[in-house]
Structure 1
């Protein structure tokens, strides 16, 4: 799967479906909608999403913070909080968990998309080495990437969608998908987040 794979964690089924519809209108793939902390953790472990949209208030408790703690301990995945709370106390609890964004409900599609794009870009700069060189990558893998594949890999790091990659490379979306498939094969990975995590490991 070469699209950006998103897990929605939201205990209100109606809101969860609304977000699902917003994301599938554009170049994102929803792996699941989790309605509880336990479901969220299971999906994070099993599905390895590229991004998590995380409701803070699950089942009347602030269990979103516990899901965030699990993400920070086990996986390098960006997440954004979705919440009805904008008070100082909740913000102070949220900040140490290092979210890539904080979206206050209600929000519209434009707000959601722009927050996701900024989150993915900031995460790439927060996690990745400042200087990503094709020679460094190719010296660590058995089958070297081509220059075009490396440029696509850089775009994946910046959180670009397939459509954005196609526009920046002046090629079709299908061509981008082919390049991503080749990258996965050469790096023995299966998802964007897995590929990002591997490169981070290789360069440290």
Structure 2
């Protein structure tokens, strides 16, 4: 799946549906919705999201903060908090998990997308190998990347959506999806986050 894949962890079904609707308006794919801690942990074990939207308060508990610690320790994936909490005590607990965004409810579609775009860009820049170049990557791959596939890889590290990539290169979104799928096949991965993890492994 070439779209940016998002895991939503939110215990209020109506808010989760709002987020799904917002994401469906652009080229994001909702990978799964987890309504509690157990579902969130299962989704993380079984799937590879590119971004996690994480509510702090799940069922009356601050389980979102615990999940955030686990994401950092085990999965190294970008996440943003979506919460109704703005108390300093909660912020103090949340900030040590190093979220890439903190959205207060109620939120707008614009709030959500700007936070996701900034989060993806910052995470991707942090994850990018220092010496990312086509020649070096192709030395360690059985099937070498083309120039177009390498451009798609570079755009992943810029945190661009498929639509943004298409506009940048003056091609269709389907062409971008083809380049991304070929890239995933050659790296033996299934998502952007897995591609970045594989590149870290290959270039170390």
| TM-score (norm: length of structure 2) | 0.97
Moved over 4 A (4+): none
Deviations 1:2-51 (A, max 9, x none): 00000110011111111111111111000111100010011111121111
Distance 1:125 1:184 in 2: 19
Which residues of 2 match residues 101-140 of structure 1 at below 5 A?
101-140=101-140
2:129–2:199 CA contact under 8 A, matched in 1: no
Q: Does 1:48 align with 2:48?
A: yes
Q: Which residue of 2 aligns with 1:152?
A: 152
1:170 aligns with 2:178: no
Aligned mates of 1:164, 1:80 — CA distance in 2: 21
Cα distance in 2, alignment partners of residues 19 and 179 from structure 1: 28
Task: Name the CA distance, whole Å, in 2 between partners of 1:54 and 1:43.
Answer: 13
Partner of 1:87 in structure 2?
A: 87
Instruction: Give SS of 2:80's match.
Output: strand
Aligned Cα root-mean-square deviation (Å): 1.0
My pick for the range that moved more, 122-131 or 38-47, is 122-131
SS of match in other structure, 2:160: coil
Unaligned runs of 5+ residues in structure 2 are: none
Q: TM-score, normalised by structure 1?
A: 0.97
Residue 26 of structure 1 is matched in structure 2 by: 26
Rounded Cα–Cα distance in structure 1 between residues aligned with 2:76 and 2:158: 15
The superposition leaves residues 75-102 of structure 1 with CA deviations (integer Å, 9 ceiling, x where unpaired) of: 1210000010112211111111111111
C-alpha separation in 2, matches of 1:3 and 1:160? 10
1:203: which partner in 2? Answer: 203
Q: Match of 1:107, SS? A: coil
Quote the offset at 1:131 in angstroms: 3.8
Q: Deviations over 1:112-142 (max 9, x none)?
A: 0010000000001122224421122111111
Give the corresponding residue for 1:73: 73
SS for the counterpart of 2:96 is helix
Cα deviation code 1:138-159 (max 9, x no counterpart):
1111111111110111111222
Partner of 2:60: 60
